[in-house]
Amino acid sequence: MFANFRQSMAWLHTWYGLVLGFVLMVVFFFGSLSVFDREIDRWAIPETRFEPQPMPSFDKMLLPILQKVEPHEVDYNAQMPILHDHNQGPMTPRLELPAEEYWAYTTHRDPVLIMGAGFGVPKPKDPEGHNHIHGDVTIDPRSGKLVSDEALKIGSGWFYPMHYGLHLGWKNLGYWLVGLASLTMLIALVTGIVMHRKIFREFFTFRPEKKIQRSSLDLHNMTGVLALPFHFFFAFTGLVIFAGWLYFPVAETLLKPLHHQHEVLEADKTGLPHERSGVPATLASVDAMVAEAKRRWAERDMAGEVGYLAISHLGDQNGYVSIYRAGSDRVALVGEGIHFNASTGELIREDPPRSTVGNINEFLTGLHLQHFEHWLLRWLYVLGGLLGSVCIATGFIFFVEKRKQRYAQKNSQFIRVVDAVAVTVVTGMLIAAVGMLVANRLLPVEFENRDSWEKNAFWGLWILAFVHAMIRSGPVSKALMNPAWREQSIAIAVLAVLAVGLNWMTTGDHLIKTIFTQTYWPVAGVDLSLLVTSGIALWVARILKLREQASLPIVTLKSKTIESGEVAHV
C-alpha cells in the first residue's frame, strides 16, 4: 500500500491526527485551563474570594453539617434502581438512606471545603459490592455557611471535567474518547518523529514570513518537538490514571472474586475492618485524632496539614477514621495516612512508606494531577499545554492548506467541512469558554437554575461558532482562507475584555484593586489572562486580515504552479 515505512507513518499521523485531533484539542486546551481551575472558580463565585483555609474543626463545624447532607437526587435516581434488589421490596426513599461514610477534602488552593457522605443501600442486589449513593456540599470553612449548589464551579466543575470526560456521561463515552485520543497522541508523537526528516536541523525553525502552509508546518513541528517530553508524559500519565479502573477494569470484571478476597485479606493485615459489625457505636473526637496525626507527621519530619479525611463504617463498632496529609510540597498526591478507631480514637495503623512501584505510580499520577504548591511549575504546565494546543491547531491548518487547492479543483466540499470544524475547535472553543465567563457575570445570582444557563451559554456559543464557521467557509472551496478564523478571533477579543469589565462592574474587583490595594491573585490572574488573550486575539485577527488580502491573487494561479508550491509534511 505504501512505498516505505515513513510514508505509512505519515498516513497514520495525518489521518489519526485529524480524526482524534479535534478531541485532543479540547483535552489540551481545557487541561491547560484546569491548571488554574480553583482560581477560575474564585472568579466565577465571588462570595468565595478569600484566602485558602486549613481544614476546620471536624467536631465543632464539619460533623453537624455532614449530619444534614442528603443523598444527591440525580445520583439516587441513577444508581438506586441499579443497586437495589427489587425482589426484597420497594426502594428505600432517598431521605431515609443511612449515612455510612463521611469525607472532607481540601487543598492549599481551596478557600472553600468540599465534603460529603456515602449513604448505604439497605437492600442491595450485590451485598459484597460498594453500594453507596452520594451527597456532597461545599462550605465556607470560616463560618460553615453552605455555598449554593447553583453556583457553578466553572473551573473545577466544568472546564476540568471537560478535559478528561468531555461532559459525555453516557456509558462513560467521554472518558473512552479522551483515552482513545491520548493513545492517538502517543501514536502521533512516535509517527511524527519517524516522518520528520529534519528533526534536529529544524529544532528552532519557524518562518512566519513564508506561505501559511510552510509556516504552519514549522510551528507544528517546533511546538511538537520542543515540548515532546511534556506531550508524551501527559498523554501517557493521563492513560495511567484511568487504566486501572476504566480501561482495564479487571478488578471489577474478570478478577472480581479475587479482588474481593484480596480486599478481605488486606483488611485483616492492616486491621482496617472490611465489613460493618452491625454493633452500633458512637464517634470519638476526630479533632483529637487530627492532632495526633499531625504530631506523628511532625515526628517523621513531615509536618503538614490535613488534605483528606474519611470516616468508614460510620456509627458502627468497626468504624475507623483515616487522615491523610496534604501533599502540597511534593509531586505525589495526599499520603502518609494514619488510621484510628472511630469509637475509641485509638491508633489502628500508620501507612508504611510506599513500595518502589507505589512511588512510581504516585509520581506519574501526581505529575499529571499537580496538587503541589509550585506556582512556577503550574505556569510552565500551562505553557506546555498551550504549546500542545498550538501543535494540534497548526496540524489542522497544515492539513487544510496542503489540500485546499486540490479540492478546489475537484469542486469537493470535504476540505471546507474540515476547515469549519477546525475553526470550531480552535477559536470556537475559546469563544465558548470566555463566553461562559461572560454569562456567569451577566446572569443574576438569584436566577433559577443559573448553573444550567451557564452551561447552555457554553454549548450554545460553541454551536453558534460552528454554524458561523460553516456559513463563512465558502472561500475555502475556492482555495482561499475562511474569514471565520479572523471574525471569531475578534469575537474572542471582545468577549475577553467584556468578561473583565463585567467582573469589575458586578463585584467591584478591578485589576488595580486585585493587584495593588487588596491583592487577590486568583482573580487578578484570570483577569490578566483574559486581557492577554484579548490582545493576542486582536493581533492574530490583524495578521489574518493581511494574510487574507495577500492570498486573494493565488486563485488566479494555474494548477501547475499550485501543485509545485506544496510543502511535503516532513
Kindly state the helix (H) or strand (E) to which residue 140 belongs, with its residue range.
Answer: strand 132-140
CB of 333 to other proteins, least distance (A): 12
By residue count, the chain amounts to 570
CB of 363 to other proteins, least distance (A): 6
Which residue reads 468497626 in cell numbers?
318
Q: Is 234 in the site for other proteins (CB under 8 A)?
A: no
Residue 63, C-alpha cell as written in the block: 460533623
CB of 290 to other proteins, least distance (A): 25
CB of 306 to other proteins, least distance (A): 20
Give the nearer residue to other proteins in terms of CB position, either 331 or 498: 331
Q: Is 192 in the site for other proteins (CB under 8 A)?
A: no
Give the nearer residue to other proteins in terms of CB position, either 237 or 488: 237
CB of 378 to other proteins, least distance (A): 10
Q: Is 300 in the site for other proteins (CB under 8 A)?
A: no
* Residue from 522, 532, 530, 419 nearest 468 by CA: 419
* Residue from 48, 64, 44, 68 nearest 56 by CA: 64
> Within 363-382, which residues bind other proteins (CB under 8 A)?
363, 366-367, 372, 374, 376-377, 380-381
Give the nearer residue to other proteins in terms of CB position, either 155 or 388: 388
Q: If 0-12 CB within 10 Å is exposed, 13-18 middle and 19+ buried, where does residue 281 land?
A: middle
Neighbouring C-beta atoms of residue 124, cutoff 10 Å: 16
CB of 299 to other proteins, least distance (A): 20
Give the nearer residue to other proteins in terms of CB position, either 233 or 466: 233
Q: Is 226 in the site for other proteins (CB under 8 A)?
A: yes
- Under a CB-based contact definition with an 8 Å cutoff, are residues 99 and 52 in contact? no
> Within 433-462, which residues bind other proteins (CB under 8 A)?
none
Among residues 74, 87, 229, 253, which is the contact residue for other proteins, using CB under 8 A?
229
User: What 3-state class would DSSP assign to 133?
Assistant: strand
- Under a CB-based contact definition with an 8 Å cutoff, are residues 144 and 90 in contact? no
Give the nearer residue to other proteins in terms of CB position, either 201 or 560: 201
Q: Is 208 in the site for other proteins (CB under 8 A)?
A: yes
Give the nearer residue to other proteins in terms of CB position, either 180 or 382: 382
Residue 545, C-alpha cell as written in the block: 486580515
Give residues with Cβ within 8 angstroms of 70, minimum separation 6: 94, 95, 135
Among residues 2, 15, 203, 245, which is the contact residue for other proteins, using CB under 8 A?
203
Q: Is 121 in the site for other proteins (CB under 8 A)?
A: no
Whole-number Å distance between alpha carbons of 99 and 205:
61
CB of 11 to other proteins, least distance (A): 28
Among residues 162, 227, 415, 430, which is the contact residue for other proteins, using CB under 8 A?
227
Give residues with Cβ within 8 angstroms of 77, minimum separation 6: none
Q: Is 241 in the site for other proteins (CB under 8 A)?
A: no
**Residue environment code for 15-38, b if the CB has 16+ CB neighbours within 10 A, otherwise e:** ebbbebbbbbbbbbbbbbbbbbbb
Give the nearer residue to other proteins in terms of CB position, either 155 or 327: 327
Q: Is 384 in the site for other proteins (CB under 8 A)?
A: yes
Q: Is 201 in the site for other proteins (CB under 8 A)?
A: yes
Give the nearer residue to other proteins in terms of CB position, either 320 or 381: 381
Binding mask 468-497 for other proteins (x = CB under 8 A): ------------------------------
Q: Is 204 in the site for other proteins (CB under 8 A)?
A: yes
Give the nearer residue to other proteins in terms of CB position, either 380 or 555: 380
CB of 161 to other proteins, least distance (A): 24
Q: Is 170 in the site for other proteins (CB under 8 A)?
A: no
Phi/psi at 207 (5° precision): -120, 85
Kindly state the helix (H) or strand (E) to which residue 437 belongs, with its residue range.
Answer: helix 429-442
- Under a CB-based contact definition with an 8 Å cutoff, are residues 495 and 434 in contact? yes
Among residues 97, 311, 387, 429, which is the contact residue for other proteins, using CB under 8 A?
387
CB of 384 to other proteins, least distance (A): 6
Binding mask 302-341 for other proteins (x = CB under 8 A): ---------------------------xxxx---------
CB of 225 to other proteins, least distance (A): 9
Interface with other proteins by CB under 8 A: which range of 169-177, 179-187, 197-205, 350-358?
197-205
Q: If 0-12 CB within 10 Å is exposed, 13-18 middle and 19+ buried, where does residue 42 land?
A: buried
DSSP codes joined into one string, 247-304 = IS-GGGTTTHHHHHHHHHHHHHHHT--SS--S-B-----HHHHHHHHHHHHHHTT---
* Residue from 224, 186, 234 nearest 367 by CA: 234
Give the nearer residue to other proteins in terms of CB position, either 357 or 376: 376
Whole-number Å distance between alpha carbons of 321 and 45:
32
Q: If 0-12 CB within 10 Å is exposed, 13-18 middle and 19+ buried, where does residue 278 land?
A: exposed
Q: Which amino acid is at 486?
A: R
Give the nearer residue to other proteins in terms of CB position, either 32 or 424: 32
Query: Which residues in this chain contact other proteins in the complex, by CB under 8 A?
Result: 200-201, 203-208, 222-223, 226-227, 229-230, 329-332, 363, 366-367, 372, 374, 376-377, 380-381, 383-384, 387
